[in-house]
A and B are shown apart, each in its own frame.
Chain A
Amino acid sequence: MNIVYKFRDETNEEIEKIKSNFLLEVNHLSLTIERVGKGSDVEHLHVIRDFHLNIHQGEVVAIVGASGSGKSLLADAILGIHPKNSLIEGNIKYENQPLTEKRKKRLRGNDILLIPQMTNALDPLMKAGKQVESFIKQKNKQKIVKDIFQKVGLDPAVYHQIPSTLSGGMIRRIFIAMALASKVKLIIADEPTNGLDAEALDELLFQLKMLANDNRGIVMITHDLEAAMKIADKIAVFYAGETVEIADRKNVRKAGKFRHPYSRALWNALPQNGFVPIECSQPSPAEEIIGCSFASYCPEATKRCGTEKPELREVENGEMVRCFYA
């Protein structure tokens, strides 16, 4: 016998409201680095051109893109720690309020936490435990930190060690411990699984998932589509500084494919999907792009693709794609 739940209208409204209540909402974000090139002419690097993303509490959204495509700068832009010679345009909202530079300053570390890409991001002269402690406001900090260390699979003795004595895997766990110790609602994890073996990788993904289950939003930046497919609710594919697709992971699994030709190429490059090598590189950030950014490599490109820029459009239920023909 099937039980059919029937929501009252009010409840449906509530659900709608929660659905449209984003924790973080990014629209038309661009980041341009101004660099003085040869002579005195100024070179503009359009590292991020047209980026979109939205995330609810308790959700994991993966941003998948090639190395060097500007993903770390994207994290910097959201946190407001981007280089001085860079310009940000577009709009970012956090809890439905515009995220101004001033507000970013107030929120980082308190509401929004970065899990850094580099394992040299810990102070080389400070005990590991002390570095986690700064997130804790209560008394008895040391005990709390040691308990958290145990939760993430670290020996409590690690508290007293300095980073040069810790392995990359241990440092990645310390980053997770920081997230656990903090009260942040949004975590931006930049390549959190880099350099981990299969077992450690799965464990770390599990820990990230636990953080999300704790009702925090997780933006996971990665070049590893396979890892993203393991935990993300939504996958945002990043190419040439643009969001080219936002897909629901379950739908991708069901359909066995993405919508956008670039995402498909990434998908087909996975070992279990045929290991088809990707035959495309990123356009240079110094280049102005007319038309579709993927046109030079796209097998389905038409004349229109070379002259007109496709906008990111919604296909269904929050899933989006930037392609005329998908």
Chain B
Amino acid sequence: MLAFHIGKFILKRTLKFVTLLFAVVVLTFMLVSLSPVDPIQSYLGAEMMVVSEEQKEEIAEYYGVNQPKLQQFFKWLKMFLQGDLGTSLVYRQDVLSIIQEKFVASFALMALSWSMAGILGYALGVIAGMNKGTFADRAIKLYCFVLASTPTFWIAILLLIVFSLWLGLFPIGLGTPIGVVSEQVTWLDRLKHILLPAATLSVIGVSNITLHTRQKVIDVLDSEFIRFARAKGEEGFTLFKRHVFRNTLFPAISVHFASFGELFGGAILAEQVFSYPGLGLAIVQAGLNSDVPLMMGIVVFSTFFVFIGNLLADVLYTMIDLRMKNGEAI
């Protein structure tokens, strides 16, 4: 019975994913095809002047850029199904290896900002909820509402100006120092480069989880078991530690997991401002230069990644729910 349920769950999710992926791929291909940028030009860059017309023809032939769009699409699809994402025009490199390299950088950025936003957001939500109606609560709420309507790039530029330009605490951009061989880049260097973009994403990502946690804390405080806990003499931090923490943590975690998709979008923008060499920067490069294979590759990968994030959130939530229904303490 359990195996049947798990099987059904996996089948349903896989179908949903395949449908979603197909829609995303078609849409992306259509959008890139509409781009007025000549892919050969972006491939050649400055060499455009010195390369002869015949050579250009050959390159176009090699990448198939002059074929009808539909034919190009099916060619890509066929290769994709065989596990081949093709070669990037801009980087002149295998798409899969580009994604691998950029993903490590992006993932570090997202993981760091996701954890920071989670911890900070939960803490702020608890402070606001436990002190509902006070100055602290109103300040935190205001902060969240303002941030929820502030564009990521704006925050990014603001942090950059304050911390890099004025205070000089952090580098202006990139993922590693300029002019240093990659083997000589230290962890401290990497940390310095990642901190500002990660802070940007956290500052924004906090708002959702804070407001959600605040509401949950208020609901819990209003419940009968808190009234009883108060009647037993529990107050303030003891009350939080014994009852509020456990009853608000898991809802907060599952909400935070579900916000992973948004984080992905935010990361693309933040990487732009900080020239942080992750997937976000690569996808913009691909888009600006009509680099179809790279664009498609990143889109497929991103869809997959966000999908996995949401799946994890669901599995986690279901597991906690099941444990609770079975009467096991968490």
- Residues in B with CB closer than 8 Å to A124 are 225, 247, 324
Q: Is A313 an interface residue (CB 8 A)?
A: no
Please determine whether B229 and A123 come into contact, CB atoms closer than 8 angstroms. Answer: yes
Contact A162-B231, Cβ < 8 Å, known A116-B224, A118-B224, A123-B243: no
Cβ of A250 < 8 Å from any Cβ of B?
no
User: For residue B230, which residue of chain A has the nearest CB?
Assistant: A81
For A121, list chain B residues within 8 Å (CB): 224-225, 227-228
Given contacts A109-B232, A164-B324, contact A126 B223 (CB under 8 A): no
In the complex, which residue of chain A has the Cβ closest to the Cβ of B328? A162
CB distance from B231 to the nearest CB of A (A): 4
A108-B327 CB under 8 A given contacts A118-B224, A120-B225: no
Decide yes or no whether A151 CB sits under 8 A from chain B.
no
Q: Are A161 and B327 in contact (CB under 8 A)?
A: yes
Interface flags, A92-111, vs B, CB<8A=1, else 0: 00000000000001111110
Q: Is the pair A79, B231 in contact by a Cβ cutoff of 8 Å?
A: yes
Greatest chain A CB density within 10 A among B231, B325, B328 is at B231
Q: Does A122 interact with chain B (Cβ within 8 Å)?
A: yes
Give per-residue flags for B69-109: 1 if the beta carbon is below 8 A from chain A beta carbons, else 0. 00000000000000000000000000000000000000000
**Chain B residues with CB under 8 A of A110:** 233
> Measured between C-beta atoms, what is the minimum distance from B62 to chain A in Å?
62
Mask of B224-259 contacts with A, CB within 8 angstroms, 1/0: 110111111111000000110011000000000000
Interface positions of A from 106 to 139, Cβ below 8 Å from B: 106-110, 113-114, 116, 118, 120-127, 130, 134
Q: Which residues of B contact A79 (CB under 8 A)?
A: 231
Name the residue on A nearest B246 (C-beta). Answer: A125
Alpha-carbon distance A52/B96, docked complex (angstroms) = 81
B227, B233, B247, B327: which contacts A105 (Cβ < 8 A)?
Answer: B233
Distance between A205 CB and nearest chain B CB, rounded to angstroms: 21
Please, what's the 1-or-0 string for B98-136, where 1 marks a CB less than 8 Å from any CB in chain A? 000000000000000000000000000000000000000
A140 within 8 Å of B (CB atoms): no
Q: How many A-B residue pairs have CB under 8 A?
A: 68
In whole Å, how far is A154's beta carbon from the nearest beta carbon of chain B?
Answer: 15
Is B330 part of the binding interface, using a Cβ–Cβ cutoff of 8 Å?
A: yes
Q: Check if B225 sits within 8 Å of A109, measured CB to CB.
A: no
Which chain B residues border A127 with CB–CB below 8 Å? 329
Expressed in whole angstroms, the minimum distance between the Cβ of B249 and any Cβ of chain A is 10
Contacts of B230 in A (CB 8 A): 81, 108
CA distance A107 to B232 in the complex (A): 9
Chain B interfacial residues counted at CB < 8 A: 22
Q: Are B247 and A123 in contact (CB under 8 A)?
A: yes
Within the complex, the shortest CB–CB distance from B223 to chain A, in Å, comes to 7
Query: Is B235 within 8 A of A105, CB to CB?
Result: yes
Which residue of chain B has the shortest Cβ distance to A75 in the bound complex?
Answer: B231
Contacts of B229 in A (CB 8 A): 123
Residue A40 lies at the interface, judged by CB distance under 8 Å to chain B: no
Q: Complex formed: what's the CA distance from A88 to B230 in Å?
A: 18
Contact between A122 and B327, CB atoms less than 8 A apart: no
Nearest chain A CB to B321's CB is how many angstroms away? 12
Name B330's closest neighbour in chain A (CB-CB).
A125
Closest to B233 in A: A109
Interface residues of B in 29-66 (CB under 8 A from A): none
Asked whether B246 lies within 8 Å of A120 as measured between CB atoms, the reply is: no
Select which of B227, B247, B324, B325 is within 8 A of A81 by beta carbon: B227
**A109 contact from B231, B242, B329, Cβ within 8 A:** B231
Contacts of A160 in B (CB 8 A): 329
- Within 288-330 of B, Cβ neighbours of A (below 8 Å) are at 324-325, 327-330
Check: A165 CB closer than 8 A to any chain B CB.
yes
From A79, A121, A130, A165, residue with most partner B Cβ within 10 Å: A121
Q: Which among A125, A130, A165 is the interface contact of B247 at CB below 8 angstroms?
A: A125
**In the complex, A107→B231 CA distance in Å?**
10
Chain B residues within an 8 Å CB radius of A123: 225, 229, 242-243, 246-247
Task: Judge whether A116 and B330 touch: CB under 8 Å.
Answer: no
A126 near B231 with CB under 8 A, answer: no
With A108-B232, A109-B233, A109-B234 already in contact, the answer to whether A125 and B324 are too (CB < 8 A) is yes
Give the residue of B232, B233, B329 whose beta carbon is less than 8 angstroms from that of A162.
B329
Q: Are A120 and B231 neighbours in the complex by a CB distance under 8 Å?
A: no
Residues on B with beta carbons closer than 8 Å to the beta carbon of A162: 324, 327-329
Check B243 against A108 for contact (C-beta < 8 Å): no
**When chains A and B are docked, how far (Å) is the Cα of A116 from the Cα of B246?**
22
CB distance from A133 to the nearest CB of B (A): 11
**Are A126 and B233 in contact, with the CB atoms below 8 A?**
no
Alpha-carbon gap, A124 to B234, bound state (A): 17
Tell me if A120 and B235 are in contact (CB < 8 A).
Answer: no
CB distance from A82 to the nearest CB of B (A): 11
Chain B residues within 8 Å of A, Cβ to Cβ: 223-225, 227-235, 242-243, 246-247, 324-325, 327-330
A-B contact pairs, 7 of them (CB 8 A): A109-B232, A113-B231, A118-B224, A121-B225, A124-B247, A162-B329, A165-B327
Rank and list the top 3 A-B pairs by shortest CB-CB distance, nearest first.
A109-B233, A165-B327, A121-B228
Question: Given A113-B232, A122-B228, list of 9 further CB < 8 A pairs?
Answer: A105-B235, A109-B231, A110-B233, A116-B231, A121-B225, A124-B247, A125-B246, A126-B243, A164-B324
